[in-house]
């Protein structure tokens, strides 16, 4: 298993100073030294933006529903690995944490020796989820590009009397000459064809 990157900057959000110290000690034991602690959750989104941490650890001693919801909204917005410690929870809150993208949601588990493995798990889960999202986005983009190219080939075959192979060859050659993607050329051609098409009778 690869060694953790101890150069990561970690933001600890905890209104309870004693509990924050437990997290700090656990992280320092693991070799993490770039730690910032925030004790006041008011205006926390701006603080996160200013600090720009690599990872966020949130400790909520006895969170009420509103506090949890505001932290889940934060999780959705920041796009970083988040480990969240809570003393008590219910199934609905656990499901909401997962939906919000919290990478590790730990109930009644704030112990100094558990901080590092939980942080490692949060980073690992976040990276795996980010990779899946990226692959899904790439697959969607490829499918969209293919549709554009197919439509553009159809236009060239119809207007220029080309075969499908020749239409594709022309698109590819144009893309190479203009140093652009085939899908960009296809999109331009589709737009131009739409502008040049005779108006439909109303």
> What digits encode the pLDDT tens for the residues 94-136?
888 888 878 888 887 688 888 888 888 888 888 888 888 888 8
Q: Which residue has the higher pLDDT, 202 or 104?
A: 104
Confirm if 153 and 167 have CB atoms less than 8 A apart: yes
At 37, is the pLDDT very low, low, confident or very high (cuts 50, 70, 90)? very high
Q: Backbone phi, then psi, for 180, in 5-degree steps?
A: -130, 170
Give pLDDT, residue 150.
93
Asked if the model's pLDDT at residue 191 lies above 80, the reply is: yes
Asked if the model's pLDDT at residue 27 lies above 80, the reply is: yes
Give pLDDT, residue 143.
92
Give pLDDT, residue 146.
92
Mean pLDDT of the chain: 85
Asked if the model's pLDDT at residue 28 lies above 60, the reply is: yes
Q: How far apart are CA 183 and CA 25, in angstroms?
A: 53
Q: What is the mean pLDDT of residues 172-189?
A: 92
Element (H, E) at 100: helix 91-100
Q: Which residue has the higher pLDDT, 3 or 194?
A: 194
Residues 52, 122, 90, 65: what is their CA dihedral angle, to the nearest 10 degrees? 0
Contacts from 110-114 at CB under 8 Å and sequence distance 24+?
A: 110/19, 110/22, 110/23, 110/59, 110/85, 111/22, 111/26, 112/22, 112/25, 112/26, 112/29, 113/26, 113/29, 114/26
Q: Which residue has the higher pLDDT, 175 or 133?
A: 175
Give pLDDT, residue 201.
53
Taken in order of first residue, the domains within the chain and their CATH numbers are: 10-134 (3.40.50.2300), 137-196 (1.10.10.10)
Asked if the model's pLDDT at residue 202 lies above 50, the reply is: no
Q: If DSSP codes are grouped into helix, strand and coil, which group holds residue 11?
A: strand
Closest CA to 13 of 78, 98, 92: 78
pTM summary value:
0.64
């Amino acid at each position: 298993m690869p060694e953790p990157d101890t150069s990561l900057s970690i933001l600890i959000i905890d209104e309870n100073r004693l509990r924050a110290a437990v997290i700090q000690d656990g992280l320092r034991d693991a070799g993490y030294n770039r730690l910032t602690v925030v004790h006041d959750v008011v205006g926390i989104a701006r603080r996160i933006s200013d600090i720009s941490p690599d990872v966020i650890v949130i400790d909520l001693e006895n969170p009420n529903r509103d506090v949890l919801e505001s932290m889940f909204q934060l999780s959705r917005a920041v796009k970083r690995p988040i480990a969240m410690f809570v003393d008590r929870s219910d199934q609905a809150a656990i499901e909401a944490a997962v939906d919000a993208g919290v990478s590790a949601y730990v109930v009644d588990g704030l112990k100094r020796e558990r901080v590092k493995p939980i942080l490692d798990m949060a980073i690992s889960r976040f990276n795996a989820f980010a990779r899946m999202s990226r692959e899904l986005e790439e697959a969607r983009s490829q499918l969209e590009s293919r549709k554009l190219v197919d439509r553009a080939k159809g236009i060239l075959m119809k207007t220029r009397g080309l075969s499908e192979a020749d239409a594709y060859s022309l698109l590819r050659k144009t893309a190479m000459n203009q140093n652009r993607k085939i899908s960009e050329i296809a999109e331009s051609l589709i737009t131009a064809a739409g502008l040049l098409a005779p108006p439909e009778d109303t």
